[in-house]
Structure 1
């Protein structure tokens, strides 16, 4: 793994990947000594801001809860976990989810749905998902 290169420009400090160093240098950044940069601890206000942006594009509440717990640490409470689970709803499970091409073909055949033997997986999924009524 490549080590990042410390650079500075007008008092600003960054660590850049070696493949981007030349581009930074062309913009005036210069190599410098590595600095210890202290990251501020996330605050309750930071967490509230993040929560206010949910659900965004997220559809996996476990993923969001785990990510927020890692990032916000003790600031993230059980009440926040419940709030995330209210805001972020899992994507609706489709009948074709997790099925292989052979399993899709078997399911379609069982339902009496015709398909071309050369059909792509996405087409088979669309056929199966379009014909199955959601279960309550």
Structure 2
């Protein structure tokens, strides 16, 4: 995935790049950018040696993008289903005086929330790694 943006500042091997905001950014928890109304700031590896004010092409690896999408959408969905099945099939035998559907909802949403907390913790560590960050590949102007 490629984006065109303007370098706002540089710090060592990294640069802050302002790129137009897209609708796909709404649910992202990767933590690599700070969105506002019109644009977002991406922390990118400054491979091209860009300076503040230059227009650049930023590349985000598709593997990183797909991995993030799977974490944000896939893992919580699987956790919700697994929790619902566990609540109804396993724990309904443990708690005979509680309706199995209520147990299903409690365990489903419980695992759903635990999955989101796990993803948040993972995203805090992943944002520090350079291999998951976008890369400035080319200076355009």
Bucket of the pairwise TM-score, normalised by the shorter protein: under 0.3
Q: Structure 1 length as normaliser, TM-score? A: 0.26
Q: Which has the higher contact order (CA 8 A, sep 6+)?
A: 2
Q: Which of the two has greater strand per residue?
A: 2
Q: Structure 2 length as normaliser, TM-score? A: 0.26
Rg: which structure is higher?
1
